[in-house]
Amino acid sequence: MLLTEIAEELAFAWRILPELMKGLVVTLELTGLSLVAGLVLAIPVSMLRTYTRGPLNWLATAYVEVFRGTPLLVQLFVVYYGLPEMGVVWSRFFSAWLALTLNSAAYQSEYIRGAILSVSEGQLLAARSLGMPPIQAFRWVVLPQALRLALPAWSNEVAYMVKYVSVVYMIAVQELFTRAQGIISRTFKVWTPLLEVAVVYLAVVYLVTRLMDSVERRFRIPGLEGGVERREMV
Amino acid sequence: MPQPILRIENIHKAYGKTQVLRGVSLDVYPGEVVVIIGPSGTGKSTLLRCVNQLTVPDQGRVWLEGVELTAKGTDINKARERIGMVFQDFNLFTHLTAVQNVMLALTKVKRMRPEEARAKAMAELEKVGLADKADLYPAELSGGQKQRAAIARSLAMDPEVMLFDEPTSALDPELIGEVLEVMRKLAEEGMTMLVVSHEMGFAREVADRIVFLENGVIVEEGPPEQLFQDPKQERTREFLWKLTELYGNHGGSRSRRRPGCS
């Protein structure tokens, strides 16, 4: 009977939900930690790219190009399998976090760099004319504007990140997708866990997008809207 | 003769192959209002920026009250606190309200406590007639209000000299008056002012001295009545005639087209 089968699948879906939720917690931890650490790293990188010339600029540029130009999976394997050969050993979770952070920081630094460039030069001149040293002028005048301008792009990065994290399945970190994969190989049921995990991703990304929208609204200032409004990009 | 508060000596500045300033020297005395006029691209703005070192001159020296700003080892940030600057495009901090704009340097540079800085900022906004606009963002202010807020922001630092870089050139004609009024009041209070402007009415009434700059050199300088009525150089005469044609007979802000800005 079809109905019985559906009821059984739903019951199964319900049974595995707690396990998937445990995975979701890990996914969200990795997303959050990588995004925040990525942002902290992205700001100095974008500053070096924007304001310096010579070796520091080359270094920052090389970093961004390498991490944007190679697959995240390769970066993950280098951190998890490659570095231990050189005597650096980390936990799976730490390796996953490090690779995701380094990757995300490269992208985030580009969003921020673009935003810094779109803050008019007059803003910096005005700050300097009041006696602010360069770092102070950057910190209090350029950066707050640049971060606001980068917010729409940054919202996208958040949504990407939730899904990118599933790559760490490859080093068996017990995040959402890894859990689903575990269930599949244990129970030989494919469709239900896969659909279920897809629905969970969908729901999380939806919620995150809503959250970022309200953050954008919260920080909106007249005359300083982010470059591209997502909802206008139909 | 008193000591000049600001001494500019033999300033040279080139951008690539273009020689913008070729040896400009100018002394400004305490309480004096000096208006710099001249065709666009003559280096008027560059000269102002060389004063507070936003542009570093290739050659030449600048002193503020006997301290050489161009010398190695001078704390230029400290010096800039004493030199206010007002820009053509206002350059109010976009992400801050009018009062926060005025407060920022007070709290970060002068290290005032926030309450103290706010009180000072409100007093400055009051002076330029913007107390009721204190909590508006720049985008919510008119051009004239933006420029007045920018002036308040500079004045809050208690500068000894104020530099004005075409403060009314980006304004619609009907908004120019309110900004010039603030500047006039400031001059009356005895502020030392170095002003790049084509507002001939203002120059005539308020300036102690007019400097005509062209091709990177001072062609002629003198008190307004002398320069307007009896310029010594033919070039000065031509330029003033052109300005009068553009801006109307008595300078001022009537029937004014917008000239290209330098």
pLDDT of residue A85: 85
CA distance B154 to B83: 8
Residues A146, B95: Cα–Cα separation, whole Å: 10
Residue A229 has a pLDDT of 43
Taking 70 as the pLDDT cut, the residues of chain A under it are 226-234
The residue with tokens 């050659």 is: B59
- Other Cβ atoms closer than 10 A to B99: 23
**Nearest partner of A29 among A214, A150, A181, A168, judged by Cα:** A168
Q: In the prediction, which pLDDT does B70 show?
A: 94
Predicted pLDDT of residue A86 = 86
Is the dihedral angle over the CA atoms B62, B66, B72, B78 positive or is it negative? Answer: negative
Tell whether B243 is within 8 A of chain A (Cβ). Answer: no
Res B251: pLDDT: 45
Q: Which runs of consecutive H residues, i.e. helices, occur in chain B?
A: 44-51, 76-81, 98-108, 114-127, 143-155, 173-188, 200-206, 224-229, 234-247
Per-residue confidence (pLDDT) for residue B247, from 0 to 100:
66
**Could you tell me which of B242, B205, B210 has the C-alpha nearest to residue B226?**
B210
Range with the poorest average pLDDT among B13-22, B36-45, B247-256: B247-256
CB contact under 8 Å between B87 and A148, yes or no, is no
- State pLDDT tens for residues B57-116: 999 999 999 899 999 999 999 999 999 999 999 999 999 999 999 999 999 999 999 999
Name the pLDDT band for B258 (thresholds 50, 70, 90): very low
What pLDDT score was predicted for residue B2? 79
- Nearest residue on chain B to A147, alpha-carbon basis: B95
Joined together, the tokens standing for residue A205 give: 């990304």
Please state which architecture CATH assigns to domain A13-219. Answer: Orthogonal Bundle (1.10)
Label residue A54 left, alpha or beta by phi (over 0 means left) and psi (-120 to 50 means alpha): left
Nearest C-alpha in A relative to B85: A129
pLDDT band at B40 (very low <50, low <70, confident <90, very high): confident
Nearest CA in chain B to A135: B108
Local confidence band at B260 (pLDDT 50, 70, 90 cut-offs):
very low
Extract the tokens encoding B94. 């976009």
- Best mutation target among B90, B91, B124 (most A Cβ atoms within 10 Å) is B91
For A219, nearest residue in chain B (alpha carbons): B95
For B64, list phi and psi in degrees, rounded to 5.
Answer: -120, 115
Distance CA A30, CA A22 (A): 13
Domain ranges of chain A: 13-219
Helix (H, G, I), strand (E, B) or coil at B202: helix
* Beta strands B33-37 and B83-86, pairing class: unpaired
Q: Considering chain A, what percentage of its residues have pLDDT values greater than 70?
A: 96
Max alpha carbon distance in chain B (Å)?
56
Average pLDDT of chain A, as a whole number:
92
Residues in contact with B12: Cβ distance below 8 Å, sequence separation at least 6, in sequence order:
B19, B21, B22, B23, B57, B58, B59, B60
C-alpha–C-alpha distance, residues B60 and B11, integer Å: 4
Mutation target vs B (from A116, A123, A129, A135; most B CBs, 10 A cutoff): A129
Q: Are strands B6-15 and B83-86 parallel, antiparallel or unpaired?
A: unpaired
Of residues A230 and B184, the one with the higher pLDDT is B184
- For chain B, the average pLDDT equals 92
Q: Which of B56, B80, B93, B107 to mutate to test the interface with A (most CBs of A within 10 A)?
A: B93
Flag whether residue B170 sits within 8 Å of chain A, measured between CB atoms: no
Q: Each residue of A102-133: pLDDT tens digit?
A: 999 999 999 999 999 999 999 999 999 999 99
Dihedral angle of Cα A148, A59, A137, B44, to the nearest 10 degrees:
-110
> Which residues of chain B are within 8 Å of residue A222 when distances are taken between CB atoms?
137, 139-140
Q: pTM for the complete prediction?
A: 0.87
Residue-level pLDDT at B243: 81
Distance CA A163, CA A204 (A): 10
What is the ipTM metric for this complex?
Answer: 0.90
